[in-house]
C-alpha cells in the first residue's frame, strides 16, 4: 500500500491550533484537513488500485518535471520546467527541480539506483500547493510542496534534506514498503531522515563530523525557538517553543513513546533509529554514504519487509557489515540506543 507521508507531524499542527493566533490556527487546521483528505484518498487508491501511472525511462538518467499549483490543491498543476530546460524565474520551481536532482544523484552514483523505483521513474514536483500551506509530502507518485505561512515556516522547497526525505519515502515504497504504523512506521520515517541527511551531506560534500545531522534546518522562521524539525545526533533537542511545543523525540528505547497518535508515533519514535545511524556513521568516519549508508541501504532493499521492527532492522544492518570494524560500529550503535541488549 502507498502512503501519503508528510514532513511536518500532526502534533506540531495541533500545538499551533492550541497556542497560535487566529490566522495561525486557521493555517494549522488547513494542514490537518488536507492530511485527513489525502489519507482518505490513499485508502481509495489501495482499495481500487487508483495509483496514477508514472512515466518511466529505462535509461539511467535524470527525468524531472516541476509544476505550479497556483495555490490550488489540484495536482500536478501547470508544468513550468522539465528535464534539460534552463532555470525558471520561480525560485520554488528551481529549488524543487534541483533538490530532486541532488536526491537522484545520491541514489544513482552511490547505490546505483535508477530513480525511486529503480526503473527511471519521472520525478514530479508540484510547488505553491494551497495557500500558506505548512507542509510538504510524497503522495505515492510525486512530491508536493507548500510555501509555508512566513510566520512559523519558510517555503518547503528551500531545504534539500526535506526533499531527499520525502523522495526516500518513494524508495521505501518500492523496496521494503514498511508499514506506516508503530515501529515499522518509525523505521519508514527514520530511513527517510537518514537518506535525506545523506542527500544534504552529499550535495555539500560533508564528512560525518562536518554535518549538522539536523532535518529541516532553516525551515523555521526566526520567530520560532528551534534549529530544525529533528536532530539525529540528539533527538529531543531540535526545538522548544511556546507555539509549537517541545521536540518529543526519544533517543533510547527506555523512552519509547506508546501512543495512538500519528500512526503510533512514527515521527516521534524515529529518533531512536536515527541516533543509531548517526552513531554508526560517526564511528566509521568519512562520508556517511560510503559505509553507514550502504549498510542501511542493503538492509532496506535486501532484507526488510513491511512488518520489520527495530530489532529486526538492527540485525539486518549488522548482517550487511563487510568488516569487523563495521560490525562493531553498527552493533555498538544499536546497543547504545537500547534496541539491542
| Domain presence at residue 257 | yes
**Number of domains making up the chain:** 1
- In the beta sheet, which residues pair with residue 127? 68
Count the Cβ atoms, other than its own, within 10 Å of residue 38.
Answer: 19
In angstroms, what is the C-alpha Rg of the chain?
Answer: 19
Q: What gap in Å lies between CA 263 and CA 6, rounded to an integer?
A: 12
| Domain presence at residue 74 | no
pLDDT interval class at 43 (50, 70, 90):
very low
Catalytic residue status for 166: yes
What local confidence, expressed as pLDDT, does residue 45 receive?
39
Q: What gap in Å lies between CA 254 and CA 209, rounded to an integer?
A: 27
pLDDT interval class at 47 (50, 70, 90):
very low
Q: What gap in Å lies between CA 12 and CA 17, rounded to an integer?
A: 9
Extract the C-alpha cell encoding 90.
520561480
Choosing from 267, 287, 298, 326, which is the catalytic residue?
267
47 Cβ contact partners less than 8 Å away, ≥ 6 residues apart? none
pLDDT in tens, 236-252: 999 999 999 999 999 99
Q: What gap in Å lies between CA 137 and CA 146, rounded to an integer?
A: 9
What local confidence, expressed as pLDDT, does residue 60 receive?
82
Please give the mean pLDDT across all residues of the chain.
Answer: 94
The pLDDT of 208-222, averaged and rounded, is 98
* CA distance to 42, 163, 188, 243, 258, per residue, from 181 (Å): 15, 22, 9, 27, 12
What local confidence, expressed as pLDDT, does residue 38 receive?
87
| Domain presence at residue 318 | yes
Domain that holds residue 267: 182-336
Catalytic residue status for 267: yes
Residue 327 has pLDDT above 90, yes or no: yes
| Domain presence at residue 302 | yes
CATH number of the domain residue 250 falls in: 1.10.390.10
Which conformational region is residue 127 in: left (phi greater than 0), alpha (psi within -120 to 50 degrees), or beta? beta
| Domain presence at residue 230 | yes
| Domain presence at residue 175 | no
pLDDT interval class at 51 (50, 70, 90):
very low
The pLDDT of 17-43, averaged and rounded, is 88
The pLDDT of 272-289, averaged and rounded, is 98
Maximum Cα interatomic distance, the chain, rounded to a whole number of Å: 57
Choosing from 3, 62, 128, 166, which is the catalytic residue?
166
The pLDDT of 141-167, averaged and rounded, is 98
Residue 96 has pLDDT above 50, yes or no: yes
| Domain presence at residue 231 | yes
Residue 54 has pLDDT above 70, yes or no: no
What local confidence, expressed as pLDDT, does residue 2 receive?
66
| Domain presence at residue 45 | no
Residue 333 has pLDDT above 80, yes or no: yes
Amino acid at each position: 500500500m502507498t502512503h501519503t507521508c508528510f514532513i511536518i507531524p500532526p502534533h506540531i499542527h495541533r500545538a499551533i491550533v492550541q497556542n497560535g493566533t487566529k490566522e495561525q490556527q486557521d493555517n494549522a487546521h488547513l494542514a490537518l484537513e488536507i492530511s485527513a483528505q489525502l489519507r482518505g484518498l490513499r485508502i481509495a487508491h489501495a482499495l481500487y488500485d487508483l495509483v496514477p501511472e508514472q512515466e518511466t525511462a529505462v535509461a539511467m538518467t535524470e527525468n524531472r518535471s516541476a509544476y505550479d499549483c497556483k495555490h490550488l490543491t489540484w495536482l500536478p498543476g501547470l508544468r513550468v520546467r522539465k528535464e534539460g530546460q534552463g532555470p525558471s524565474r520561480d525560485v520554488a520551481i528551481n529549488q524543487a527541480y534541483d533538490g530532486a536532482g541532488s536526491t537522484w544523484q545520491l541514489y544513482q552514483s552511490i547505490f546505483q539506483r535508477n530513480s525511486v523505483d529503480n526503473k527511471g521513474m519521472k520525478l514530479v514536483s508540484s510547488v505553491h500547493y494551497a495557500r500558506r500551506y505548512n507542509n510538504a509530502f510524497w503522495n505515492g507518485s510525486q512530491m508536493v510542496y507548500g510555501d509555508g505561512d512566513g510566520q512559523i515556516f519558510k517555503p518547503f522547497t528551500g531545504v534539500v534534506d526535506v526533499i531527499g526525505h520525502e523522495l526516500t519515502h518513494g524508495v521505501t515504497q518500492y523496496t521494503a514498503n514498511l508499514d506506516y504504523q508503530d515501529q515499522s512506521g518509525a523505521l519508514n520515517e527514520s530511513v527517510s531522515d537518514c537518506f535525506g541527511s545523506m542527500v544534504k551531506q552529499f550535495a555539500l560534500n560533508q564528512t560525518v563530523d562536518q554535518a549538522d545531522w539536523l532535518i529541516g534546518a532553516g525551515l523555521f522562521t526566526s520567530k520560532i525557538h528551534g534549529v530544525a524539525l529533528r536532530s539525529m545526533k540528539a533527538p529531543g533537542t531540535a526545538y522548544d517553543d511556546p507555539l509549537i511545543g517541545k521536540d518529543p523525540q526519544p533517543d533510547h528505547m527506555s523512552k519509547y513513546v506508546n501512543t495512538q497518535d500519528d500512526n503510533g508515533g512514527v515521527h516521534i519514535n524515529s529518533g531512536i533509529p536515527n541516533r543509531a545511524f548517526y552513531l554508526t556513521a560517526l564511528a566509521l568516519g568519512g562520508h556517511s554514504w560510503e559505509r553507514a549508508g550502504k549498510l542501511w541501504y542493503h538492509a532496506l532493499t535486501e532484507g526488510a519487509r513491511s512488518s520489520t521492527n527495530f530489532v529486526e532492522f538492527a540485525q539486518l544492518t549488522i548482517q550487511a557489515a563487510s568488516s569487523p570494524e563495521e560490525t562493531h560500529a553498527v552493533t555498538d550503535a544499536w546497543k547504545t540506543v537500547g534496541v539491542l541488549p
